[in-house]
Amino acid sequence: MKRFNTKTVNFVGIDLFSGAGGMTLGARLTGINVIASVENDRHAVETYRHNNKGVDIFDKDIREYVSVPKTEETDVRLLFGGAPCQGFSTSNQRTRSASNQNNWLFAEFLRVADLWEPHWIIFENVKGIVETAKGVFLERILSEITKRGYNVVHFFLQAADFGVPQRRTRLFIVGSRAGIKVKMPHPLGSPAPTVREAISDLPLLKNGASVCRLPYRREPETEYQTQMRGGEKECTNNIVSRNLDYVVKRYCHIPQGGNWESIPNRLMHNYQDKTKCHTGIYLRLRANQASIVIGNFRKNMLIHPTQDRGLSVREAARLQSFPDSYEFKGSIGFQQQQVGNAVPPLLAKVVFESVIRSHIEATRESVARPQALDLATV
């Protein structure tokens, strides 16, 4: 993957609530030097540490994080990440409220910002944060960042508009201490890769496949596959949940784009009322379209478009835009969770590109017109 040209400016970053490292990877693809991260899930930490050598990772509760790294005076500091988003998800109606303590972890993000005083703040989360508790969370976040002297903008980005083979909308909040108004990234203007275009070269697998490292099925067939392979000769994480026989029997009744509604009633004996299933349960992906959201794909039992099994961890990672060199650690359940929770790296990349571009353009303008920007804050 080609890096964005950061010229002579040294951008350094800290990733909070980093998970497996989707945002860190997006930042590194733009040339940002990620120097630290905070994550307390030990399985995600194992994955992050394996793929991000040299980053100082704090693997305890963020409330204990008090020693932020020192930087050079000329460094441009970026603090980014997103508090756990399950409490804001539209699929979570049980704890989607102000009483869910996890929904208030963004206060720790702001606390670290007070400690480190970054030039840029980039906060991401799910679209549902706007709808939770009548929008109080979004209003609070925008207000708190603004009170700290940042010029704040926020926007929603659809991953499929930026080369990710998945329809996934994320909220990004970007604040500049120098008063720079970052521009919202413009969609690429070309269709996102389809599921087939994203994964057709990956190994053929069966229900319960457990051999992690395998050679590719065939030579890359699309530009996206070539990009994701990055010269690798084989790929890891080719593992699939082992579903019980009665579950696998349901799969053959579901066409591409279909879901639980296509399964005969006689095969749904363990559902007291199958009408309570949401539309994402037992959904078979369409080969000729971008994927639906890769969230909890094991629990939802997302089905491979042409094979009667669930998605492998590597297939889900491809649909999230993780390169094949990025290896996930832990048991299969933890790997699936890490992939589903991640921010698509290619989506994060366009946000960081926009921030870097805005910063460099503003700096150039300040040189031409010194009164245009207070350089002491850049």
Residues belonging to the active site: 85
Q: Which two tokens stand for residue 104?
A: 């208030």
Q: Which amino acid is at 332?
A: I
Cβ-based neighbours of 143, under 8 Å, separated by 6 or more: none
Q: Is 106 in a helix, a strand, or coil?
A: helix
Q: Which two tokens stand for residue 45?
A: 């930490």
Residue given tokens 């690429």 in the structure block: 188
The answer to whether 299 and 203 are in contact (CB under 8 A) is: no
Q: Which two tokens stand for residue 25?
A: 């990877």
Q: Which two tokens stand for residue 365?
A: 């303008």
Terminal-residue alpha carbon distance, the chain: 28
Sheet with 11-16, side-by-side order of all strands: 56-58, 33-38, 11-16, 76-81, 120-126, 169-176, 151-158
